[in-house]
Amino acid sequence: MELRHLRYFVAVAETGSLTVAAEKRLHTSQPSLSRQIRDLEDEVGAELLSRSARGVELTAAGRAFLDHARLALAQVDAATEAARRASKPAKEVFALGFLTGEEMTWLPRAMRLLRDELPNIDVTVSSHYSPDLADALARGKLDLAFLRAEPGYDLDYRVVDREPLVVLMPSDHPLASRESIRPDDFAGEPFVAASNKAKVLRGVIDRYVEESGIGVTPKHGVDNLAMAMSLVASTRGLSLMPAYAQNLLPSSVVSRPLAGVTPSIELVIGYSRSNASAALKLFLSRADELVVTDAGLSAA
Protein backbone atom coordinates (compact mmCIF):
# COMPACT_ATOMS: atom_id res chain seq x y z
CA MET A 1 0.00 0.00 0.00
CA GLU A 2 1.40 3.40 -0.98
CA LEU A 3 0.60 6.90 0.22
CA ARG A 4 -0.92 7.80 -3.14
CA HIS A 5 -3.55 5.10 -2.60
CA LEU A 6 -4.60 6.79 0.64
CA ARG A 7 -4.63 10.25 -0.94
CA TYR A 8 -6.71 9.02 -3.85
CA PHE A 9 -9.18 7.26 -1.58
CA VAL A 10 -9.62 10.31 0.69
CA ALA A 11 -10.13 12.58 -2.34
CA VAL A 12 -12.87 10.31 -3.72
CA ALA A 13 -14.52 9.98 -0.30
CA GLU A 14 -14.59 13.75 0.22
CA THR A 15 -15.86 14.65 -3.27
CA GLY A 16 -18.25 11.72 -3.67
CA SER A 17 -17.21 11.34 -7.29
CA LEU A 18 -14.40 9.57 -9.13
CA THR A 19 -14.63 12.08 -11.96
CA VAL A 20 -14.52 15.19 -9.76
CA ALA A 21 -11.71 13.76 -7.63
CA ALA A 22 -9.69 12.87 -10.73
CA GLU A 23 -10.16 16.21 -12.52
CA LYS A 24 -10.35 18.75 -9.70
CA ARG A 25 -8.29 17.29 -6.86
CA LEU A 26 -5.81 14.80 -8.28
CA HIS A 27 -5.29 15.96 -11.87
CA THR A 28 -5.26 12.45 -13.24
CA SER A 29 -7.55 10.45 -15.49
CA GLN A 30 -10.68 8.81 -14.16
CA PRO A 31 -9.73 5.31 -15.43
CA SER A 32 -6.34 5.59 -13.74
CA LEU A 33 -7.97 6.66 -10.50
CA SER A 34 -10.43 3.76 -10.68
CA ARG A 35 -7.53 1.31 -11.06
CA GLN A 36 -5.76 2.80 -8.03
CA ILE A 37 -8.91 2.46 -5.91
CA ARG A 38 -9.36 -1.18 -7.02
CA ASP A 39 -5.72 -1.87 -6.13
CA LEU A 40 -6.32 -0.36 -2.68
CA GLU A 41 -9.44 -2.47 -2.14
CA ASP A 42 -7.51 -5.58 -3.17
CA GLU A 43 -4.79 -4.67 -0.66
CA VAL A 44 -7.29 -4.04 2.14
CA GLY A 45 -9.37 -7.06 1.25
CA ALA A 46 -12.70 -5.25 1.37
CA GLU A 47 -14.88 -3.06 -0.84
CA LEU A 48 -14.42 0.54 0.32
CA LEU A 49 -16.65 2.36 -2.16
CA SER A 50 -20.07 1.54 -3.56
CA ARG A 51 -20.35 2.72 -7.16
CA SER A 52 -23.62 3.73 -8.84
CA ALA A 53 -24.92 6.06 -11.54
CA ARG A 54 -25.27 8.77 -8.89
CA GLY A 55 -21.61 8.62 -7.90
CA VAL A 56 -19.82 6.75 -5.15
CA GLU A 57 -20.61 6.20 -1.49
CA LEU A 58 -18.54 4.80 1.33
CA THR A 59 -19.29 1.28 2.43
CA ALA A 60 -19.15 0.37 6.12
CA ALA A 61 -15.57 -0.74 5.55
CA GLY A 62 -14.83 2.51 3.74
CA ARG A 63 -16.16 4.61 6.60
CA ALA A 64 -13.99 2.69 9.05
CA PHE A 65 -10.96 3.06 6.79
CA LEU A 66 -11.42 6.81 6.12
CA ASP A 67 -10.51 8.18 9.56
CA HIS A 68 -7.39 6.02 9.71
CA ALA A 69 -6.37 7.07 6.21
CA ARG A 70 -6.73 10.74 7.12
CA LEU A 71 -4.72 10.23 10.30
CA ALA A 72 -1.95 8.42 8.41
CA LEU A 73 -1.72 11.24 5.86
CA ALA A 74 -1.74 13.86 8.61
CA GLN A 75 1.11 12.09 10.40
CA VAL A 76 3.13 11.96 7.19
CA ASP A 77 2.56 15.68 6.65
CA ALA A 78 3.56 16.38 10.26
CA ALA A 79 6.75 14.35 9.88
CA THR A 80 7.61 16.21 6.67
CA GLU A 81 7.02 19.57 8.31
CA ALA A 82 9.15 18.59 11.33
CA ALA A 83 11.99 17.54 9.03
CA ARG A 84 11.81 20.82 7.14
CA ARG A 85 11.95 22.80 10.35
CA ALA A 86 14.85 20.75 11.67
CA SER A 87 16.80 21.42 8.48
CA LYS A 88 16.63 25.17 9.21
CA PRO A 89 17.46 25.36 12.92
CA ALA A 90 18.79 28.93 12.99
CA LYS A 91 15.61 30.40 14.51
CA GLU A 92 12.53 28.48 15.59
CA VAL A 93 9.18 29.46 14.11
CA PHE A 94 6.22 29.23 16.47
CA ALA A 95 2.96 29.09 14.51
CA LEU A 96 -0.15 30.27 16.35
CA GLY A 97 -3.68 29.83 15.02
CA PHE A 98 -6.93 31.42 16.14
CA LEU A 99 -10.59 30.82 15.51
CA THR A 100 -11.39 33.91 13.45
CA GLY A 101 -12.24 36.80 15.79
CA GLU A 102 -10.78 35.23 18.92
CA GLU A 103 -7.34 36.71 18.26
CA MET A 104 -8.68 40.09 19.43
CA THR A 105 -8.83 38.73 22.98
CA TRP A 106 -6.26 35.96 23.06
CA LEU A 107 -3.32 37.09 20.92
CA PRO A 108 -2.10 39.69 23.45
CA ARG A 109 -2.30 37.10 26.25
CA ALA A 110 -0.48 34.50 24.16
CA MET A 111 2.32 36.93 23.35
CA ARG A 112 2.76 37.73 27.04
CA LEU A 113 3.36 34.04 27.73
CA LEU A 114 6.02 33.94 25.02
CA ARG A 115 7.74 37.21 25.95
CA ASP A 116 10.85 35.51 27.35
CA GLU A 117 11.37 33.57 24.13
CA LEU A 118 10.47 36.28 21.61
CA PRO A 119 14.13 37.22 20.89
CA ASN A 120 14.80 33.60 19.93
CA ILE A 121 11.72 32.73 17.88
CA ASP A 122 9.65 34.05 15.00
CA VAL A 123 5.92 33.99 15.78
CA THR A 124 3.46 33.61 12.92
CA VAL A 125 -0.28 34.21 13.39
CA SER A 126 -3.21 33.02 11.31
CA SER A 127 -6.98 32.77 11.73
CA HIS A 128 -9.27 30.09 10.29
CA TYR A 129 -12.39 28.04 10.98
CA SER A 130 -12.02 25.62 13.88
CA PRO A 131 -11.92 22.34 11.85
CA ASP A 132 -9.24 23.85 9.60
CA LEU A 133 -7.16 24.76 12.66
CA ALA A 134 -7.43 21.22 14.02
CA ASP A 135 -6.33 19.82 10.67
CA ALA A 136 -3.36 22.23 10.55
CA LEU A 137 -2.30 21.16 14.06
CA ALA A 138 -2.51 17.49 13.12
CA ARG A 139 -0.41 18.10 10.01
CA GLY A 140 2.27 20.07 11.86
CA LYS A 141 1.41 23.35 10.13
CA LEU A 142 0.55 25.00 13.45
CA ASP A 143 2.16 24.58 16.88
CA LEU A 144 -0.82 25.74 18.94
CA ALA A 145 -4.30 27.04 18.21
CA PHE A 146 -7.27 28.57 20.00
CA LEU A 147 -10.24 26.60 18.71
CA ARG A 148 -13.05 24.21 19.58
CA ALA A 149 -12.28 20.69 20.80
CA GLU A 150 -12.77 19.14 17.38
CA PRO A 151 -13.33 15.34 17.49
CA GLY A 152 -11.47 12.92 15.25
CA TYR A 153 -7.98 14.38 15.63
CA ASP A 154 -5.03 13.04 17.62
CA LEU A 155 -4.65 16.29 19.58
CA ASP A 156 -4.60 17.39 23.21
CA TYR A 157 -6.98 20.15 24.32
CA ARG A 158 -7.05 22.42 27.37
CA VAL A 159 -10.08 24.56 28.15
CA VAL A 160 -9.29 28.27 28.52
CA ASP A 161 -12.78 29.77 28.34
CA ARG A 162 -16.48 29.03 28.28
CA GLU A 163 -18.41 31.51 26.19
CA PRO A 164 -22.17 31.96 26.53
CA LEU A 165 -24.26 31.86 23.40
CA VAL A 166 -26.08 35.06 22.44
CA VAL A 167 -28.86 35.78 19.97
CA LEU A 168 -27.96 37.68 16.81
CA MET A 169 -30.70 39.62 15.01
CA PRO A 170 -31.11 42.59 12.65
CA SER A 171 -30.62 45.86 14.49
CA ASP A 172 -34.18 46.97 13.63
CA HIS A 173 -35.83 43.65 14.53
CA PRO A 174 -38.79 43.95 16.96
CA LEU A 175 -36.98 41.70 19.45
CA ALA A 176 -34.06 44.15 19.57
CA SER A 177 -36.04 46.20 22.08
CA ARG A 178 -35.89 43.30 24.56
CA GLU A 179 -33.20 43.08 27.23
CA SER A 180 -33.04 39.30 26.79
CA ILE A 181 -34.56 36.68 24.53
CA ARG A 182 -36.77 33.83 25.78
CA PRO A 183 -37.01 30.44 24.05
CA ASP A 184 -40.58 31.09 22.90
CA ASP A 185 -39.44 34.30 21.16
CA PHE A 186 -37.89 32.11 18.44
CA ALA A 187 -41.30 30.81 17.33
CA GLY A 188 -42.05 31.73 13.73
CA GLU A 189 -38.71 33.47 13.18
CA PRO A 190 -36.30 32.43 10.40
CA PHE A 191 -33.39 30.64 12.05
CA VAL A 192 -29.79 30.71 10.85
CA ALA A 193 -28.13 27.58 12.23
CA ALA A 194 -24.56 26.33 12.37
CA SER A 195 -23.74 23.84 9.62
CA ASN A 196 -22.43 20.32 10.19
CA LYS A 197 -18.91 21.58 9.45
CA ALA A 198 -19.05 23.59 12.69
CA LYS A 199 -19.97 20.37 14.50
CA VAL A 200 -18.99 21.44 18.04
CA LEU A 201 -21.08 24.63 17.90
CA ARG A 202 -23.89 22.79 16.12
CA GLY A 203 -23.98 20.22 18.93
CA VAL A 204 -24.28 22.90 21.64
CA ILE A 205 -27.06 24.70 19.75
CA ASP A 206 -28.99 21.51 18.98
CA ARG A 207 -28.92 20.47 22.65
CA TYR A 208 -30.21 23.88 23.75
CA VAL A 209 -32.96 23.87 21.13
CA GLU A 210 -34.06 20.38 22.18
CA GLU A 211 -33.90 21.00 25.94
CA SER A 212 -35.67 24.37 25.67
CA GLY A 213 -38.40 23.08 23.37
CA ILE A 214 -37.68 25.78 20.81
CA GLY A 215 -39.77 25.15 17.70
CA VAL A 216 -37.39 26.23 14.95
CA THR A 217 -36.71 24.90 11.49
CA PRO A 218 -33.29 26.09 10.30
CA LYS A 219 -33.57 27.99 7.03
CA HIS A 220 -29.82 28.26 6.47
CA GLY A 221 -26.67 26.55 7.74
CA VAL A 222 -23.42 28.49 8.15
CA ASP A 223 -19.90 27.36 9.02
CA ASN A 224 -18.44 30.73 10.03
CA LEU A 225 -19.40 33.87 11.89
CA ALA A 226 -19.15 36.24 8.91
CA MET A 227 -21.69 34.19 6.96
CA ALA A 228 -23.98 34.06 9.99
CA MET A 229 -24.00 37.85 10.35
CA SER A 230 -24.61 38.32 6.64
CA LEU A 231 -27.58 35.94 6.60
CA VAL A 232 -29.06 37.39 9.78
CA ALA A 233 -29.06 40.82 8.15
CA SER A 234 -30.32 39.66 4.75
CA THR A 235 -33.00 37.17 5.85
CA ARG A 236 -34.05 39.07 8.98
CA GLY A 237 -33.57 35.87 10.92
CA LEU A 238 -32.21 34.95 14.34
CA SER A 239 -29.06 33.02 15.09
CA LEU A 240 -27.27 31.63 18.14
CA MET A 241 -23.54 32.33 18.21
CA PRO A 242 -20.76 32.50 20.85
CA ALA A 243 -20.49 35.80 22.70
CA TYR A 244 -17.20 36.78 21.03
CA ALA A 245 -19.34 37.59 17.97
CA GLN A 246 -20.18 40.85 19.73
CA ASN A 247 -16.67 42.11 18.96
CA LEU A 248 -17.28 41.82 15.22
CA LEU A 249 -20.90 42.84 14.63
CA PRO A 250 -21.68 45.31 11.83
CA SER A 251 -24.15 48.11 12.50
CA SER A 252 -26.92 46.09 10.82
CA VAL A 253 -26.75 43.29 13.42
CA VAL A 254 -27.11 43.37 17.21
CA SER A 255 -26.89 40.75 19.93
CA ARG A 256 -29.03 40.04 22.97
CA PRO A 257 -28.43 37.56 25.83
CA LEU A 258 -30.64 34.54 26.35
CA ALA A 259 -33.02 34.56 29.29
CA GLY A 260 -32.80 31.77 31.83
CA VAL A 261 -30.22 29.00 31.65
CA THR A 262 -27.70 30.03 29.02
CA PRO A 263 -25.79 27.43 27.00
CA SER A 264 -22.05 27.90 26.64
CA ILE A 265 -19.32 26.60 24.38
CA GLU A 266 -15.73 25.84 25.32
CA LEU A 267 -12.74 27.56 23.78
CA VAL A 268 -9.62 25.43 24.06
CA ILE A 269 -5.97 25.54 23.18
CA GLY A 270 -5.06 22.58 21.01
CA TYR A 271 -1.69 21.05 20.20
CA SER A 272 -0.07 17.78 19.18
CA ARG A 273 1.61 15.90 22.01
CA SER A 274 4.28 14.76 19.55
CA ASN A 275 5.35 18.37 18.90
CA ALA A 276 8.81 18.84 20.47
CA SER A 277 8.92 22.64 20.09
CA ALA A 278 10.68 24.34 23.02
CA ALA A 279 8.40 27.35 22.60
CA LEU A 280 5.33 25.11 22.85
CA LYS A 281 6.71 23.52 26.02
CA LEU A 282 7.20 26.98 27.52
CA PHE A 283 3.72 28.09 26.47
CA LEU A 284 2.06 25.05 28.01
CA SER A 285 3.99 25.46 31.26
CA ARG A 286 2.48 28.94 31.62
CA ALA A 287 -0.92 28.26 30.07
CA ASP A 288 -2.75 28.81 33.37
CA GLU A 289 -1.80 32.49 33.06
CA LEU A 290 -4.10 32.79 30.04
CA VAL A 291 -7.14 32.81 32.31
CA VAL A 292 -7.01 36.20 34.00
CA THR A 293 -10.25 36.43 35.96
CA ASP A 294 -11.07 36.73 39.62
CA ALA A 295 -12.67 33.30 39.70
CA GLY A 296 -13.26 30.57 37.21
CA LEU A 297 -13.02 30.99 33.49
CA SER A 298 -13.32 34.24 31.61
CA ALA A 299 -16.05 35.27 29.22
CA ALA A 300 -14.39 36.80 26.19
The lowest-confidence range among 67-76, 185-194, 226-235 is 67-76
CATH topology for 92-300?
D-Maltodextrin-Binding Protein; domain 2 (3.40.190)
Q: How far apart are CA 300 and CA 162, in angstroms?
A: 8
CATH number for the region 3-82 comes to 1.10.10.10
Q: Where in the chain is the domain with CATH 3.40.190.290?
A: 92-300
pLDDT band at 297 (very low <50, low <70, confident <90, very high): very low
Give mean pLDDT, residues 30-40.
Answer: 81
pLDDT higher than threshold 50 for residue 187: yes
Q: How far apart are CA 276 and CA 290, in angstroms?
A: 21
Q: Where in the chain is the domain with CATH 1.10.10.10?
A: 3-82
Give mean pLDDT, residues 185-196.
Answer: 87
The terminus-to-terminus CA distance of the chain in angstroms comes to 47
51 three-class SS:
strand
pLDDT digit string, tens, across residues 129-172: 899 999 999 999 999 999 999 988 899 999 999 999 999 999 99
pLDDT higher than threshold 50 for residue 298: no
pLDDT digit string, tens, across residues 88-98: 656 778 999 99
pTM equals: 0.67
pLDDT digit string, tens, across residues 264-285: 999 999 999 899 888 899 999 9
Q: How far apart are CA 28 and CA 36, in angstroms?
A: 11
pLDDT band at 300 (very low <50, low <70, confident <90, very high): very low
Give mean pLDDT, residues 281-290.
Answer: 90
